[in-house]
Amino acid sequence: MPGWIGEWMVFAAIMALGQFSPGPDMVLITRTALAAGWRSGCWTAVGIACGLACHAAVAVTGVSTVLSRGGGFVVALRWAAATYLSWLAFQLIRSGLQSRRLNVTGQEKPAKQGDAVHWRRGLLCNLLNPKVAVFLAGVTAPFLSLQTSPAGWPVILWVTIVLEGVILWCLWVFLLQAAAVRTGYLKMAHWLDLAFGVVLLGVAGALVVLN
């Protein structure tokens, strides 16, 4: 077996842990899958993966080194992400304070327009967060310098990041559709919406406070 296969497996394992680490993407996928079902959850996951594809391209080409140094563009992007996450948090907190669950599309009949709304929400949640590119750069940098890597190695890493994200996040969405899980969510929907909202608000604050 070529030596790079083992390195690739290590890389895939690290990425899997990173993709399931606590953060706005996981909060958004989890809440959407519980509140709106598997279809909406999967479209949210696809949207996040599209954002991840852009960040992964930045990471494997080395452009993320520029982002890691900060600057006006990164500061503006960080504030845009914080604003968007605060808006999502406000929706969830408002849902938790209301007597009925929030319609996550903002429409009375989300089935007609829900797919595009959830995809866009996932895309913006991931794409506006510059820390994703910096994190991916830190993970991919050691693997990009392998002496025995095959032709197209950066592309292999990019495909691994994106496909692994889609597959694992969609599997997580389907796991959340278990009857016991959904029944528990419906009983505690308001409290969980409040909790998810507070978490997103905390992440938004951290984006602008922490370097």
DSSP 93-144: HHHHHSSS---TTSSS-TTTTHHHHHHHHHHHHHHT-HHHHHHHHHHHHHHH
Q: Rounded to whole angstroms, how far apart are CA atoms 27 and 1?
A: 39
Contact 3, 148 (CB under 8 A): yes
pLDDT digits (tens, 9 = 90+) for 80-118: 767 777 877 787 777 667 655 444 444 434 444 478 999
Domain boundaries, the chain: 3-209
pLDDT digits (tens, 9 = 90+) for 28-76: 898 899 888 899 999 999 999 999 999 888 878 765 455 555 566 566 7
Q: Report the chain's mean pLDDT, rounded to a whole number.
A: 78
What pLDDT score does 35 carry?
84
What pLDDT score does 63 carry?
55
What pLDDT score does 104 carry?
43
